[in-house]
Structure 1
Amino acid sequence: MRYEVERKFLVAHAGWRERAVSRHRLTDGLVGEFAGGKVRVRLDEERAWLTVKGRRDGLSRPEFEYEIPQEEAEAMLRLVCETCLIEKTRYCVPHDGLVWTVDEYGGSLAGMVLAEIELEHEAQAILLPDWLGREVTADARFRQSTLLRLAREAGRPVTLTEVIAAQL
Protein backbone atom coordinates (compact mmCIF):
# COMPACT_ATOMS: atom_id res chain seq x y z
CA MET A 1 0.00 0.00 0.00
CA ARG A 2 1.28 3.45 -0.93
CA TYR A 3 1.04 6.54 1.27
CA GLU A 4 0.91 9.97 -0.31
CA VAL A 5 2.89 12.54 1.69
CA GLU A 6 2.23 15.99 0.28
CA ARG A 7 2.34 19.69 1.07
CA LYS A 8 0.31 22.35 -0.76
CA PHE A 9 1.03 26.07 -1.19
CA LEU A 10 -0.40 29.18 -2.77
CA VAL A 11 1.73 30.60 -5.57
CA ALA A 12 3.04 34.12 -4.93
CA HIS A 13 4.22 34.97 -8.45
CA ALA A 14 4.87 33.45 -11.89
CA GLY A 15 8.61 32.87 -11.40
CA TRP A 16 7.96 29.13 -11.69
CA ARG A 17 6.92 29.42 -15.35
CA GLU A 18 10.44 29.85 -16.73
CA ARG A 19 11.56 26.78 -14.80
CA ALA A 20 8.73 24.43 -15.88
CA VAL A 21 9.98 21.39 -17.82
CA SER A 22 6.65 19.82 -18.81
CA ARG A 23 2.91 20.33 -18.75
CA HIS A 24 -0.17 18.13 -18.95
CA ARG A 25 -3.82 19.01 -19.30
CA LEU A 26 -5.88 17.09 -16.73
CA THR A 27 -9.55 16.58 -16.08
CA ASP A 28 -10.46 15.29 -12.62
CA GLY A 29 -13.88 14.06 -11.62
CA LEU A 30 -14.98 13.52 -8.05
CA VAL A 31 -16.73 10.15 -7.97
CA GLY A 32 -17.47 10.28 -4.24
CA GLU A 33 -16.36 11.30 -0.76
CA PHE A 34 -16.34 9.22 2.39
CA ALA A 35 -15.07 9.63 5.98
CA GLY A 36 -12.32 12.08 5.06
CA GLY A 37 -11.40 10.29 1.83
CA LYS A 38 -12.40 10.45 -1.81
CA VAL A 39 -12.58 8.54 -5.06
CA ARG A 40 -11.44 10.42 -8.16
CA VAL A 41 -11.17 9.65 -11.86
CA ARG A 42 -8.47 11.48 -13.82
CA LEU A 43 -7.86 11.79 -17.54
CA ASP A 44 -4.90 13.35 -19.35
CA GLU A 45 -3.78 13.33 -22.99
CA GLU A 46 -2.32 9.83 -22.77
CA ARG A 47 -3.97 7.82 -20.01
CA ALA A 48 -6.68 7.59 -17.37
CA TRP A 49 -6.80 6.31 -13.84
CA LEU A 50 -9.03 5.84 -10.81
CA THR A 51 -7.66 6.94 -7.43
CA VAL A 52 -8.92 6.18 -3.94
CA LYS A 53 -7.48 8.43 -1.22
CA GLY A 54 -8.07 7.70 2.45
CA ARG A 55 -8.34 10.03 5.44
CA ARG A 56 -5.38 12.36 5.95
CA ASP A 57 -3.24 11.89 9.06
CA GLY A 58 -0.85 14.85 9.24
CA LEU A 59 0.69 15.16 5.77
CA SER A 60 0.05 11.50 4.88
CA ARG A 61 -2.81 9.44 3.59
CA PRO A 62 -3.24 6.06 1.94
CA GLU A 63 -3.58 6.20 -1.83
CA PHE A 64 -4.62 3.47 -4.25
CA GLU A 65 -4.33 4.15 -7.97
CA TYR A 66 -5.45 2.03 -10.93
CA GLU A 67 -5.02 2.74 -14.61
CA ILE A 68 -8.29 2.36 -16.52
CA PRO A 69 -9.28 2.59 -20.21
CA GLN A 70 -9.62 6.20 -21.42
CA GLU A 71 -13.11 5.48 -22.78
CA GLU A 72 -14.29 4.40 -19.33
CA ALA A 73 -12.79 7.52 -17.71
CA GLU A 74 -14.54 9.72 -20.28
CA ALA A 75 -17.84 7.95 -19.55
CA MET A 76 -17.39 8.37 -15.77
CA LEU A 77 -16.58 12.06 -16.18
CA ARG A 78 -19.67 12.54 -18.36
CA LEU A 79 -22.16 10.34 -16.51
CA VAL A 80 -21.04 10.28 -12.87
CA CYS A 81 -19.02 13.47 -12.31
CA GLU A 82 -20.81 16.02 -14.51
CA THR A 83 -21.06 18.71 -11.80
CA CYS A 84 -17.83 17.78 -10.00
CA LEU A 85 -15.22 18.35 -12.73
CA ILE A 86 -11.88 20.06 -12.33
CA GLU A 87 -9.89 21.20 -15.33
CA LYS A 88 -6.27 22.13 -14.87
CA THR A 89 -2.91 22.31 -16.52
CA ARG A 90 -0.20 20.71 -14.41
CA TYR A 91 3.36 21.92 -14.76
CA CYS A 92 6.43 20.08 -13.42
CA VAL A 93 8.97 22.47 -11.94
CA PRO A 94 12.31 21.17 -10.63
CA HIS A 95 13.76 22.89 -7.56
CA ASP A 96 16.58 21.80 -5.26
CA GLY A 97 16.51 18.13 -6.33
CA LEU A 98 12.71 17.74 -6.13
CA VAL A 99 9.95 18.20 -8.70
CA TRP A 100 7.09 20.52 -7.73
CA THR A 101 3.73 20.40 -9.47
CA VAL A 102 2.04 23.70 -10.19
CA ASP A 103 -1.64 23.43 -11.08
CA GLU A 104 -3.24 26.23 -13.07
CA TYR A 105 -6.98 25.70 -12.89
CA GLY A 106 -9.52 26.35 -15.63
CA GLY A 107 -13.29 26.04 -15.86
CA SER A 108 -15.12 26.80 -12.62
CA LEU A 109 -11.79 27.40 -10.83
CA ALA A 110 -10.18 29.56 -13.54
CA GLY A 111 -7.44 31.75 -12.17
CA MET A 112 -6.56 29.55 -9.17
CA VAL A 113 -2.88 28.47 -9.05
CA LEU A 114 -1.59 26.04 -6.41
CA ALA A 115 1.73 24.23 -5.98
CA GLU A 116 2.32 20.82 -4.38
CA ILE A 117 5.30 18.75 -3.47
CA GLU A 118 5.24 15.00 -2.76
CA LEU A 119 7.67 13.90 -0.08
CA GLU A 120 9.19 10.57 0.90
CA HIS A 121 8.29 11.12 4.57
CA GLU A 122 6.70 13.81 6.73
CA ALA A 123 9.96 15.00 8.30
CA GLN A 124 11.71 15.48 4.94
CA ALA A 125 13.47 18.83 4.81
CA ILE A 126 12.81 20.93 1.72
CA LEU A 127 14.03 24.25 0.40
CA LEU A 128 11.01 26.32 -0.63
CA PRO A 129 11.20 28.12 -3.98
CA ASP A 130 10.90 31.92 -3.87
CA TRP A 131 7.72 31.82 -6.00
CA LEU A 132 5.74 30.05 -3.27
CA GLY A 133 3.24 31.81 -1.06
CA ARG A 134 1.54 30.64 2.10
CA GLU A 135 1.25 26.94 2.91
CA VAL A 136 -2.36 25.66 2.72
CA THR A 137 -1.83 21.93 3.28
CA ALA A 138 -4.14 21.79 6.31
CA ASP A 139 -6.56 24.47 5.10
CA ALA A 140 -9.85 22.77 4.11
CA ARG A 141 -10.73 25.74 1.87
CA PHE A 142 -8.09 24.58 -0.63
CA ARG A 143 -9.26 20.99 -0.98
CA GLN A 144 -10.51 20.41 -4.50
CA SER A 145 -13.93 19.30 -3.26
CA THR A 146 -14.30 22.56 -1.31
CA LEU A 147 -13.15 24.67 -4.25
CA LEU A 148 -15.71 22.94 -6.48
CA ARG A 149 -18.49 23.49 -3.94
CA LEU A 150 -17.65 27.19 -3.62
CA ALA A 151 -17.69 27.62 -7.41
CA ARG A 152 -21.03 25.76 -7.72
CA GLU A 153 -22.57 27.92 -5.00
CA ALA A 154 -21.29 31.12 -6.66
CA GLY A 155 -22.42 29.98 -10.12
CA ARG A 156 -19.13 31.24 -11.58
CA PRO A 157 -15.38 30.83 -11.09
CA VAL A 158 -14.30 31.81 -7.58
CA THR A 159 -11.37 34.08 -6.85
CA LEU A 160 -8.55 33.45 -4.41
CA THR A 161 -9.91 36.31 -2.27
CA GLU A 162 -13.33 34.61 -2.09
CA VAL A 163 -11.76 31.26 -1.12
CA ILE A 164 -9.72 32.88 1.64
CA ALA A 165 -12.85 34.67 2.94
CA ALA A 166 -14.96 31.48 2.85
CA GLN A 167 -16.37 30.26 6.16
CA LEU A 168 -16.48 26.47 6.42
Structure 2
Amino acid sequence: MAIEIEKKFLLKYLPSSLLTNGILIRQGYMVNEKERVVRIRLAGDKAFLTIKGITCNAARKEYEYPVPQQDAKEMLQLFCKEPLIEKTRYHVEFKGFEWVIDQFSGDNQGLVVAEIELDSVDQVFEKPDWIGKEVTHDSGYFNSNLIKNPYSTWQIK
Protein backbone atom coordinates (compact mmCIF):
# COMPACT_ATOMS: atom_id res chain seq x y z
CA MET A 1 0.00 0.00 0.00
CA ALA A 2 1.39 3.39 -0.99
CA ILE A 3 0.94 6.46 1.18
CA GLU A 4 1.25 9.96 -0.26
CA ILE A 5 2.24 12.69 2.19
CA GLU A 6 2.10 16.04 0.48
CA LYS A 7 1.98 19.68 1.55
CA LYS A 8 0.68 22.36 -0.79
CA PHE A 9 1.46 26.09 -0.82
CA LEU A 10 0.62 29.25 -2.71
CA LEU A 11 3.56 31.25 -4.05
CA LYS A 12 4.67 34.73 -2.97
CA TYR A 13 6.12 35.14 -6.45
CA LEU A 14 6.90 32.94 -9.42
CA PRO A 15 10.60 31.92 -9.46
CA SER A 16 10.72 32.19 -13.27
CA SER A 17 14.45 31.50 -13.56
CA LEU A 18 13.90 28.06 -11.97
CA LEU A 19 11.05 27.05 -14.25
CA THR A 20 12.68 24.95 -16.94
CA ASN A 21 11.63 21.81 -18.78
CA GLY A 22 7.97 22.06 -17.90
CA ILE A 23 5.73 19.08 -18.59
CA LEU A 24 2.23 19.67 -19.94
CA ILE A 25 -0.33 17.72 -17.92
CA ARG A 26 -3.97 17.00 -18.78
CA GLN A 27 -6.00 15.05 -16.27
CA GLY A 28 -9.58 14.10 -15.65
CA TYR A 29 -11.57 12.29 -13.01
CA MET A 30 -13.64 9.14 -13.56
CA VAL A 31 -14.62 8.94 -9.87
CA ASN A 32 -14.56 12.14 -7.84
CA GLU A 33 -15.90 11.70 -4.33
CA LYS A 34 -14.64 12.89 -0.96
CA GLU A 35 -13.62 9.36 0.05
CA ARG A 36 -11.94 8.40 -3.22
CA VAL A 37 -10.87 9.65 -6.63
CA VAL A 38 -9.91 7.77 -9.77
CA ARG A 39 -7.91 9.94 -12.13
CA ILE A 40 -6.38 9.53 -15.57
CA ARG A 41 -3.39 11.72 -16.40
CA LEU A 42 -1.40 12.48 -19.54
CA ALA A 43 1.98 13.93 -18.57
CA GLY A 44 4.16 14.64 -21.56
CA ASP A 45 4.56 11.31 -23.36
CA LYS A 46 3.49 9.22 -20.33
CA ALA A 47 0.09 8.31 -18.94
CA PHE A 48 -1.09 7.07 -15.54
CA LEU A 49 -4.21 5.78 -13.83
CA THR A 50 -4.26 6.90 -10.20
CA ILE A 51 -6.54 5.93 -7.33
CA LYS A 52 -6.45 8.04 -4.15
CA GLY A 53 -8.23 7.74 -0.83
CA ILE A 54 -9.43 10.41 1.57
CA THR A 55 -6.85 12.90 2.85
CA CYS A 56 -6.19 12.77 6.58
CA ASN A 57 -3.61 15.17 8.04
CA ALA A 58 -1.84 15.66 4.66
CA ALA A 59 -1.57 11.88 4.05
CA ARG A 60 -3.64 9.50 1.93
CA LYS A 61 -3.45 6.12 0.26
CA GLU A 62 -2.40 6.33 -3.38
CA TYR A 63 -2.00 3.73 -6.12
CA GLU A 64 -0.61 4.74 -9.50
CA TYR A 65 -0.20 2.61 -12.64
CA PRO A 66 1.21 3.42 -16.08
CA VAL A 67 -1.24 2.98 -18.95
CA PRO A 68 -0.80 3.26 -22.73
CA GLN A 69 -0.99 6.86 -23.89
CA GLN A 70 -3.74 6.15 -26.44
CA ASP A 71 -5.88 4.47 -23.75
CA ALA A 72 -5.44 7.52 -21.52
CA LYS A 73 -6.54 9.87 -24.33
CA GLU A 74 -9.66 7.79 -24.90
CA MET A 75 -10.45 7.62 -21.16
CA LEU A 76 -10.12 11.41 -20.87
CA GLN A 77 -12.58 11.82 -23.73
CA LEU A 78 -15.05 9.06 -22.85
CA PHE A 79 -15.15 8.87 -19.06
CA CYS A 80 -14.07 12.23 -17.59
CA LYS A 81 -16.26 15.23 -16.92
CA GLU A 82 -15.27 18.64 -18.25
CA PRO A 83 -13.37 20.73 -17.53
CA LEU A 84 -10.16 18.78 -17.51
CA ILE A 85 -7.29 19.95 -15.34
CA GLU A 86 -4.61 21.51 -17.53
CA LYS A 87 -1.30 22.63 -16.10
CA THR A 88 2.41 22.83 -16.71
CA ARG A 89 4.51 21.13 -14.05
CA TYR A 90 8.03 22.14 -13.10
CA HIS A 91 10.42 20.30 -10.76
CA VAL A 92 12.65 22.45 -8.56
CA GLU A 93 15.34 21.16 -6.18
CA PHE A 94 15.82 23.07 -2.93
CA LYS A 95 17.94 22.00 0.05
CA GLY A 96 17.60 18.27 -0.56
CA PHE A 97 13.90 18.27 -1.47
CA GLU A 98 12.07 18.25 -4.77
CA TRP A 99 9.35 20.86 -5.07
CA VAL A 100 6.73 20.66 -7.79
CA ILE A 101 5.30 23.91 -9.15
CA ASP A 102 2.03 23.62 -11.07
CA GLN A 103 1.06 26.55 -13.28
CA PHE A 104 -2.57 26.02 -14.28
CA SER A 105 -4.20 26.96 -17.58
CA GLY A 106 -7.68 26.56 -19.03
CA ASP A 107 -10.48 27.12 -16.50
CA ASN A 108 -7.91 27.40 -13.70
CA GLN A 109 -5.71 30.00 -15.44
CA GLY A 110 -3.88 32.19 -12.94
CA LEU A 111 -3.53 29.56 -10.22
CA VAL A 112 0.00 28.52 -9.30
CA VAL A 113 0.77 26.15 -6.42
CA ALA A 114 3.86 24.40 -5.10
CA GLU A 115 3.87 20.97 -3.50
CA ILE A 116 6.41 18.97 -1.58
CA GLU A 117 6.18 15.22 -0.89
CA LEU A 118 7.45 14.08 2.48
CA ASP A 119 8.31 10.82 4.21
CA SER A 120 6.28 11.72 7.31
CA VAL A 121 3.65 14.31 8.20
CA ASP A 122 5.98 15.98 10.71
CA GLN A 123 9.15 15.89 8.55
CA VAL A 124 11.12 19.13 8.81
CA PHE A 125 12.00 21.01 5.62
CA GLU A 126 13.14 24.51 4.73
CA LYS A 127 10.85 26.60 2.55
CA PRO A 128 12.26 28.58 -0.37
CA ASP A 129 11.63 32.35 -0.14
CA TRP A 130 9.04 32.11 -2.93
CA ILE A 131 6.76 29.86 -0.84
CA GLY A 132 3.72 31.58 0.64
CA LYS A 133 0.61 30.49 2.52
CA GLU A 134 0.09 26.77 3.13
CA VAL A 135 -3.17 25.47 1.60
CA THR A 136 -2.69 21.74 2.27
CA HIS A 137 -5.94 21.50 4.21
CA ASP A 138 -7.98 23.85 1.98
CA SER A 139 -9.96 21.43 -0.20
CA GLY A 140 -10.67 24.19 -2.74
CA TYR A 141 -7.12 23.74 -4.00
CA PHE A 142 -7.44 19.97 -4.54
CA ASN A 143 -7.26 19.24 -8.28
CA SER A 144 -10.35 17.06 -7.90
CA ASN A 145 -12.27 20.11 -6.63
CA LEU A 146 -10.88 22.50 -9.24
CA ILE A 147 -12.95 20.71 -11.89
CA LYS A 148 -16.11 21.31 -9.81
CA ASN A 149 -15.23 24.89 -8.86
CA PRO A 150 -12.57 26.23 -11.26
CA TYR A 151 -10.24 28.98 -10.07
CA SER A 152 -11.60 31.33 -12.76
CA THR A 153 -14.97 31.38 -10.94
CA TRP A 154 -13.58 32.26 -7.49
CA GLN A 155 -14.69 35.66 -6.19
CA ILE A 156 -11.62 36.23 -4.00
CA LYS A 157 -8.24 35.05 -5.25
TM-score by length of 2: 0.93
Aligned pair count?
157
1:87-106 alignment, distance < 5 Å: 87-106=86-105
Where in structure 2 are there 5+ consecutive unaligned residues? none
Q: For residue 120 of structure 1, give the secondary structure of its aligned residue in structure 2.
A: coil
Match in the other structure for 2:31:
32
- Deviation of 1:149 (Å): 1.6
Match in the other structure for 1:162:
155
**Do the aligned residues in 2 keep the contact of 1:147 with 1:163 (CA within 8 Å)?**
no
Between Structure 1 and Structure 2, which shows a larger proportion of helix residues?
1
Q: For residue 75 of structure 2, give the secondary structure of its aligned residue in structure 1.
A: helix
Q: In terms of mean alpha carbon deviation, does 21-30 or 40-49 score higher?
A: 21-30
**Do the aligned residues in 1 keep the contact of 2:29 with 2:81 (CA within 8 Å)?**
no
Q: For residue 137 of structure 1, give the secondary structure of its aligned residue in structure 2.
A: coil
Task: Output the amino acid matched with 1:162.
Answer: Q
- Deviation of 1:82 (Å): 4.2
- When the two chains are superposed, the root-mean-square deviation of aligned CA atoms in Å is 1.6
Which whole-Å CA distance do the structure 1 matches of 2:134 and 2:68 have between them?
Answer: 35
- Deviation of 1:36 (Å): 2.2
> Deviation digits for residues 101-138 of structure 1, max 9, x if unmatched?
00000111011101000001111101011101100000
Q: For residue 14 of structure 1, give the secondary structure of its aligned residue in structure 2.
A: coil
**Do the aligned residues in 1 keep the contact of 2:9 with 2:114 (CA within 8 Å)?**
yes
Which whole-Å CA distance do the structure 2 matches of 1:35 and 1:134 have between them?
Answer: 24
Match in the other structure for 1:46:
45
Cα pair distance change 1:87/1:35, threshold 3 Å = closer
Residues 1:56 and 2:50 are matched in the alignment = no
Which whole-Å CA distance do the structure 2 matches of 1:114 and 1:158 have between them?
Answer: 15
Cα pair distance change 1:163/1:66, threshold 3 Å = farther
Match in the other structure for 1:150:
149
Overall identity of the aligned pairs, in %: 37
Q: In terms of mean alpha carbon deviation, does 18-27 or 5-14 score higher?
A: 18-27
**Do the aligned residues in 1 keep the contact of 2:31 with 2:37 (CA within 8 Å)?**
yes
Task: Output the amino acid matched with 2:80.
Answer: C
Match in the other structure for 2:7:
7
Which whole-Å CA distance do the structure 1 matches of 2:4 and 2:48 have between them?
Answer: 16
- Deviation of 1:49 (Å): 0.7
TM-score by length of 1: 0.87
